[in-house]
Amino acid sequence: MAFSTIKNSITFHPLGDAAIVIQAGTDICEEIHERVVHLFSYIEQHPFAGYVEAVQAFTNVTVFYEPYTVYQSAHLQQQDLSPYEWVKSYIETLLEEKWQEGVQAKRRTIDIPVCYGGELGPDLEEVARINHLTPEEVVRIHTAGTYLVYMIGFAPGFPFLGGLSEKIAAPRRETPRMSIPKGSVGIAGKQTGVYPISTPGGWQLIGQTPLPLFRPDEKVPSLLRAGNEVRFVQMSEKEFFSMKEAER
C-alpha cells in the first residue's frame, strides 16, 4: 500500500526541540501496531545527519535528533526552516518514496517458562477469585494464549503484552508493592507482562520466570522486542529453582 493512501491517518508533532512524534493511529490494535513497526523499521534503515534514535510505543514512533547537527548538515541557515520542520519534511518524503506495506513478516516467538502460584505468584488466587475460576483454570488460560509484544517500557526490558483473555483480566492492586521480584509475571486489566528487574509495581502477580529478560551486558540488552510473540509455559517449582541456579 502506498504511503499516500494512509497519509491522512499519520500525524506529526514536536516533542520538545529535539524530537518528533509520528502518530500512526489512536487504537491499540494489531493493525496500528504493524504500522508502527513498519515506520520504525523504515526510519532506522534511512537515518539522516543528526539522527539519534527512534523509539516505538503503542501507537507512535518518536524520532530523536540533534537540532544543531540537522541545522548545519541541511544548511538551514539558507532556508526558512527549523530543524523540526526539516526532519518532518525528510520523513514525509522518505515515506512517500519508499513506503510499501507488504506481507506481515514472520514474528519471532519466545517461550517463557513460569512457575505459577505460591510464594512466586502470590496473587494467583485473587485473580481466580475475581474471575470466579480456580487457580488451575487461570494457569490453563494464561498458558493457552499467544501474546504480542506491543512495546518495551516502564522498566528496562519490560514487555507490554496484548492478547490476554478477558476471562482472567484483573485490576491492578489497590496498594502497589514497594518491591517486586525480578521475573515476576503479572496481570493488570487486559494486559499481562513480566518484571525484568526488581521494581515497585501494582500488577497482580501470578507467577515467576527464572529466564532473564534484561541482560545489560549484552549488545541487545532486552530479550524481547516490539513485534515479538510470547508464549508462557508452566514449570514446576523444582524446575524453577534448578533453572534459576543454572542462570547464575
The mean predicted confidence, pLDDT, of the chain is 90
Give CA torsion, residues 122, 123, 129, 134, to 10 deg: -60
| 121 closest CA partner among 207, 240, 241 | 207
Position 55 pLDDT exceeds 60: yes
Instruction: Name residue 170's beta-bridge partners.
Output: 189
State what percent of residues in the chain have pLDDT above 90: 66
Q: Would you state the pLDDT for residue 229?
A: 94
How do residues 123-134 score in pLDDT, each as one tens digit?
999 999 999 999
Contact call for residues 36 and 149 (beta carbons, < 8 A): no
Instruction: Provide the pLDDT for residue 103.
Output: 44
Domain boundary assignment for the chain: 3-98, 109-247
- CATH architecture, domain defined by 3-98: 2-Layer Sandwich (3.30)
CATH 2.40.100.10, domain 109-247, yes or no = yes
Residue pair 90/27 in contact by the 8 Å Cβ criterion: no
Burial of residue 1, with CB atoms counted within 10 A of its CB: 0-12 exposed, 13-18 middle, 19 or more buried:
exposed
Task: For CA atoms 10, 27, 102, 105, give the dihedral sign.
Answer: positive
Question: Do 109-247 and 3-98 have the same topology in CATH?
Answer: no
> H-helix or E-strand containing 144?
helix 135-144
